[in-house]
A and B are shown apart, each in its own frame.
Chain A
Amino acid sequence: MAAASSSSTESPKTTTERRGIPGAQFVEDVETYLTQTGFDVNSALAFLQERLQQYKLVEMKLLAQQRDLQAKIPDIEKCLDVVATLEAKKGTGEALIADFEVSEGIYSRARIEDNDSVCLWLGANVMLEYSCEEATSLLKKNLENAKASLEVLIADLQFLRDQVTVTQVTIARVYNWDVHQRRIRQIAASSTSKDS
């Protein structure tokens, strides 16, 4: 952002886009912006409003993805917990007794003997048997991936929110400029009519 590119015609104050999200161009001066784009005030406002709506849509999508990931991560951590507990019990030779839910409000008791493998639910009606170590490393890898995806998603959301803010500020400035212009025209019109 601090790169000085004096010969470039693009203002270095725009990141043109990020993963499909168009960047909002920062407007140095409203008048220049309107003459450059050839918009009149109303079309400029309409264009910016539409951009804002598009941003809002993308924001909803990203927020939904973020919620999914944030639910997935504790799930994976719980699985890791269980595998770790089973591994810990392995050495002692005693069985693990656990109560599990059969249906809502109904629990059954299970006796889990010493064993070396666990089955992991991979989704899409698929369950695979793994040794405890393999299971732990698979779960840990999934957890890493989920956390990394979440970080990228959060960065995307921040970028998006910045673009929304820039667009909102631009809308306000275009509108104010228009009000300012009308006022000037009004004063000019009333003063000429007074003179004539």
Chain B
Amino acid sequence: MILKGTGGSETEVTWEDQQNINKFGRLNNRFHELEDEIKVAKEAIDNLEDASNELILTDEEVVRFQIGEVFAHVPKEEVETRIEEMKELNSKNLEKLEEEKESVVAQMAELKKILYGKFKDSINLEED
């Protein structure tokens, strides 16, 4: 994001403009962080899906379930319950992240309108 001059035009930057620019920068950073977190959450959910599918196929009674750094021998039903709980948790988390991302995108669009409205060509708010 840059602020360049177009020859002679000298649009004044007020404190309010500066605050808007700062807010846009913060939102942009948060947006990228959210994208990364959403990717991680989606991967976790995929892994849990694969795990529960494998579980259905297996005919062992005792499953080695990772708790912390060790694999504890846990009966199959308990593992199923645990995986369901983890899937629930992750889905809720993902939902929350997606919601936050939408709100951030909306706020950024608002700010873009305001800033482009005032500065037109003198400001660039796109991703490089």
Contacts and interface: CB of A to CB of B under 8 A. Distances in A.
Contacts of B68: 78-79, 81-82
A162 B22 contact: yes
A82 B5 contact: no
Contacts of B70: 82, 98-101, 110
B8 A99 contact: no
A180 B13 CA distance: 15
Given A98-B72, A161-B26, A180 B67 contact: no
Interface string A160-196: 0110011011001101110110010000000000000
Dominant secondary structure at the A interface: helix
B3 A169 contact: yes
A131 B72 CA distance: 21
Given A176-B5, A176-B10, A180-B10, A100 B71 contact: yes
B16 to A, nearest CB: 10
Contacts of B72: 85, 96-99
Interface residues of B, number: 24
B98 to A, nearest CB: 20
Contact of A169 (B21, B26, B64): B21
Interface of A: 13, 26, 28-29, 78-79, 81-82, 85, 96-101, 107, 110, 158, 161-162, 165-166, 168-169, 172-173, 175-177, 179-180, 183
Contact of A166 (B5, B22, B26, B71): B22
A107 B69 CA distance: 11
B25 A162 contact: yes
Contacts of A26: 15, 18
B69 A78 contact: yes
Contacts of A158: 26
A13 B13 CA distance: 13
B10 A172 contact: no
Given A26-B18, A165-B25, A85 B67 contact: yes
A107 B71 contact: yes
Contacts of B71: 98-100, 107
B7 interface: yes
